[in-house]
Amino acid sequence: MFGFRDCGFADDRCRNTFWRLGLLGLLAVAPGCSGCGRSPAPGTFSLEHLEVKYESSGVEDPETGVQLDRLTTPLTFVDQNGVAWKAPAGMLTDGASIPDWALSITGRPNTSNVFRAAIVHDAYCQASSKASDQLYSRPWKATHQMFYDGCIACGAAPSRAVMWWAAVRLGGPRWAEDGRLLESNLSDVAFTALDLIREIIAGGQDAVSPAEIDSQIHGWEQMAATVHEHESDADSSLEEDNFEAAENSIAKAMEMLESARGRDSKSEPVLAALEGYVQTRYAKRLQAKKKYKEARAVLDKAEGSFQRAQQVKRTKDPSVLRGLGTVEFVRADLDQIQGNKAAGLRKLEKAEALMNDALRTAPKYQPARQDLRGVTTLREKMKEGGP
């Protein structure tokens, strides 16, 4: 994949044209894009050469299967604090930083408004980039902020850029100082959270900044972290067969979510979906301990939580649909354990329908796709008459 990439500004002095030139693409960049009549950008792109060149690498990203391009000349973004972010020659890029599952909310970005920002962003957080000196070398939040600033410098509208940034903030990679990749506390409800952020941005009379959205997301993450600590306590108690202590820990998690509702009612979809996933995981652990009656009771609560999240949103939410599908999957597994395979197969049909509904809403939503494979495996096991 190759071509000139439009810098996104209307001024002819800053406009470049997308050309197809055999195996080689040229990206001309106007440093700072001066002369456009716009307010100063929060940073500028600069070049060590007149133009940025990239070419097809013949290499696929091992995780996504997307064909990667190879940058053949370096590109640098200097942010408003004077910090240089470098995309070195030879690095590989997929040219897009928005998580695939988020595109049904954010829309597919015009490459002219994100391409250069995405290249530099890839250098610091995409493992397949081969940019070893840059990869995970800066804090993950600062790296994603650079992506937003780069989009603005390329001419993206702030309302669009903040949505693209929010998708990366929620679903993009994050890492510790030593380069270890970290899991988001909101991974199960990322779609729900991003859709709620879209509503917040759309409902604002003034432009919403990344700092404001980051504060909201950080609040959800802090709450989820504490809820997960209570889950961990419940796990430890179950390992010791102390079911009363486990129940108390889960009750504390539910109380924390209920308290959060009182402080921030607008976050109900995120809170209810998070509650549903906590309850579903706890039901699975009770199942493993052969507490089948108790597990079914908790699954009923989880279903109610997911339904509440769906009712508040009034739109199909892949995170919620997947959660409802997971409830049916665990119920099916309980049925087959207890010898009622016919009922289990019916519940698997419900689970499959819910997962497919999630994928129709967000075709690239990998958690639902992975769960579908689990449905297939359990169905085969049940039909073969396995234990």
- DSSP state for residue 129 in the 8-state scheme: G
Check pLDDT > 90 for residue 77: yes
pLDDT tens digits, 7-39: 332 333 232 322 222 222 333 333 443 333 334
Residue 136 lies in a domain: yes
With tokens 């600069």, the residue in question is: 46
CB 202, CB 144: distance < 8 Å: no
> 22 vs 19, 69, 230, 312, CA distance in Å?
9, 14, 58, 51
| Domain range enclosing 60 | 12-171
Structure tokens given for 81: 């604090």
Q: How confident is the model at residue 352 (pLDDT cuts 50, 70, 90)?
A: very high
- Average per-residue pLDDT in the chain? 84
Q: Per-residue pLDDT averaged across 55-74, rounded?
A: 80
Q: Per-residue pLDDT averaged across 342-366, rounded?
A: 94
Residue 365 lies in a domain: no
Residue 268 lies in a domain: no
Contacts of 262 (CB under 8 A, 6+ apart): none
- Distance separating alpha carbons of residues 304 and 386, to the nearest angstrom: 31
| DSSP bridge pairs for 56 | 69
| DSSP bridge pairs for 68 | 59
Question: At 47, which helix (H) or strand (E)?
Answer: strand 43-47
For the chain, what is the largest distance between any 2 Cα atoms, rounded to a whole number of angstroms? 74
Question: At 117, which helix (H) or strand (E)?
Answer: helix 111-125
Would you state the pLDDT for residue 47? 59
Contacts of 117 (CB under 8 A, 6+ apart): 77, 97, 146, 147, 148, 149, 150, 151, 153, 154
Residue 108 lies in a domain: yes
Residue 387 lies in a domain: no
pTM listed for this prediction: 0.83
Q: How confident is the model at residue 343 (pLDDT cuts 50, 70, 90)?
A: very high
Residue 260 lies in a domain: no
66 versus 205: the higher-pLDDT residue is 66
Residue 98 lies in a domain: yes
Residue 227 lies in a domain: no
Q: How confident is the model at residue 6 (pLDDT cuts 50, 70, 90)?
A: very low
Total of domains in the chain = 1
Would you state the pLDDT for residue 8? 33
